[in-house]
Amino acid sequence: MNETDGGVAVVVGAGAGLGAGLARRFASAGMAVAVASRNPRGAEAIAVEVERATRGAAHGYPCDATDENAVADLLNRVSGELGEPDLVVYNASGFLMKSILEIEADELVAEWNVTCLGGFIVGREVARRMAKRGGGTLIFTGATACYKGSARFAGFAIGKFGLRALAQSMARELGPKGVHVALVNIDGEINGPAHAHEIPEKGVDALLDPDAIAETYLAIHRQHRTAWTHEADLRPAIERW
């Protein structure tokens, strides 16, 4: 791979932070980018911003990652309009920070559905297509909670632990079929609209830059099959870990 990779990239669960950063970087590398979100207007807005910033090709699509039919429809549309995906990122995630004494069962199920079940549904559909072709890259966005169930984070950690287990199992099964499966652990908060107010207090270096994160995702996609990364963790230099 080189600076003009070409091909098709899909970002499932694209928001104004990391999702937009991934889409910008992939478009800058010459890839046609599909931006998928449960919010159709949000997906379209990110696609427009990506095209404006990179002069590349980006397209917004609606998709509920927890709906099998919606995921199949997304990939069918992308394949028909842009081409078969070469790189797919599962970036969707729920978030539940609450005492184990207070978590309601329906809250836990809702968080797990987005964080883990959606990863399975998207990953399975992508794997079927990539295994048949004999190539492709599937990357899951992880978090500190993939490795550590902190106090008040049981609900979030259950979903992320499951996502990491899914990624490991898929990588072991699909690697010999030419499909590169990886998980990137984002160990810290990502700079973006939701955290803009924190910069004066914490300093910009305390937050991960989404464009810098995106460089690692693209580097993983570009790796030669004799030297694949499965897990990578990213954090600011000043992050305590």
Q: Domain map of the chain by residue range?
A: 8-234
What is the reported pLDDT for 195? 57
What is the reported pLDDT for 1? 44
Furthest-apart CA atoms within the chain: distance in Å = 52
C-alpha 55/C-alpha 173 separation (Å) is 37
C-alpha 13/C-alpha 89 separation (Å) is 8
Mention the CATH class of domain 8-234: alpha beta
Q: Using alpha carbons, list the distances in angstroms from residue 40 to 13, 46, 60, 89, 205.
A: 11, 10, 7, 18, 32
Q: Enter the tokens of residue 20.
A: 């937009």
- Cα 207–210–215 angle (5° rounding)? 125
In which element (H, E) is residue 5 found?
none
| pLDDT tens digits for range 150-191 | 999 999 999 999 999 999 999 999 999 999 999 999 999 999
Give every residue of the chain whose pLDDT is below 70, as ranges.
Answer: 1-4, 194-202
| pLDDT tens digits for range 197-224 | 555 566 778 999 999 999 999 999 999 9
Q: Using alpha carbons, list the distances in angstroms from residue 43 to 62, 79, 141, 205.
A: 7, 18, 18, 28
Query: pTM for the whole thing?
Result: 0.95
Beta strands in the chain (DSSP E): 8-12, 32-37, 58-62, 87-90, 136-143, 179-186, 231-234
